[in-house]
Amino acid sequence: MLEMKAHCEKCGAATPATGKAHICSFECTFCPDCATVMQCICPNCRGNLVPRPTRMRTPAASA
């Protein structure tokens, strides 16, 4: 399951699970403003930063 980090790794801004954030394939997390400044390139792995999906609730229980 995707780890929903609560803060931008660059500026420390809040990135709650229901808010907007950008992530790379290693789940590095950045606020939209920092992602834009970094041209959507992760400074840690040099991968693409893409909009993180929002998590509105917990997953359904397995049957």
Q: Tens of pLDDT along 46-59?
A: 999 999 998 877 76
**Domains, the chain, ordered by start:** 1-53 (3.30.40)
Contact between 29 and 23 under an 8 Å Cβ cutoff? The reply is yes
Q: What is the pLDDT of residue 3?
A: 85
Please tell me the pTM assigned to this model. 0.85
pLDDT interval class at 61 (50, 70, 90) = low
Q: Which residues, in sequence order, are bridge partners of residue 14?
A: 7
Contact between 45 and 24 under an 8 Å Cβ cutoff? The reply is yes
Count other C-beta atoms under 10 Å from residue 62's C-beta: 4
Helix residue ranges, H only, the chain: 32-37
- Type of residue numbered 43: P
- Type of residue numbered 29: T
pLDDT mean over 37-46: 97
